Amino acid sequence: GAVVSQHPSRVICKSGTSVKIECRSLDFQATTMFWYRQFPKQSLMLMATSNEGSKATYEQGVEKDKFLINHASLTLSTLTVTSAHPEDSSFYICSASPGPGGQPQHFGDGTRLSIL
């Protein structure tokens, strides 16, 4: 149980393209999902908290107009990297929790984004 699916697993695209990443909770409902970014050989950096039916909460330094988050249902959150540039290349991971207290979190397999 508690499976989180993330798609696509890998994206390679040209600079200026917008890229959408999906995060789905397959066997539970999640009112809250989290989006992280991970640089090589580093830990996870929280980007934003995705709330179903309301606006996402972004961490300091994360541009909300650059990283658009939509949490349209209790099982799906999407992260759109708008007008992506090479510096946006990274490993993006989402997480969700089936528990009422939000713990523990279960992670998707991540999306490797490469902007040429």
Partner 1 sequence: TQLLEQSPQFLSIQEGENLTVYCNSSSVFSSLQWYRQEPGEGPVLLVTVVTGGEVKKLKRLTFQFGDARKDSSLHITAAQPGDTGLYLCAGGRRSGNTPLVFGKGTRLSVIA
Q: Which residues bind partner 1 (CB under 8 A)?
A: 4, 6, 31-32, 34, 41-44, 46, 49, 91, 93, 95, 97, 101-110, 112
Min dist CB 20 to partner 1, Å, is 18
Question: Which residue, among 18, 9, 51, has the nearest Cα to 33 in the 3D structure?
Answer: 51
Q: What torsion, rounded to 10 degrees, do the Cα atoms 98, 101, 104, 106 define?
A: 40
Which residues fall within 8 angstroms of residue 60, CB to CB, at 6 or more apart?
A: none
Min dist CB 16 to partner 1, Å, is 26
Min dist CB 106 to partner 1, Å, is 6
Min dist CB 76 to partner 1, Å, is 16
At 8, is the secondary structure helix, strand, or coil? coil
* Closer of 33 and 115 to partner 1 (Cβ): 33
* Closer of 93 and 115 to partner 1 (Cβ): 93
* Closer of 34 and 67 to partner 1 (Cβ): 34
At 22, is the secondary structure helix, strand, or coil? strand
* Closer of 84 and 97 to partner 1 (Cβ): 97
In Å, what is the CA distance from 21 to each residue of 83, 93, 99, 104?
14, 9, 24, 22
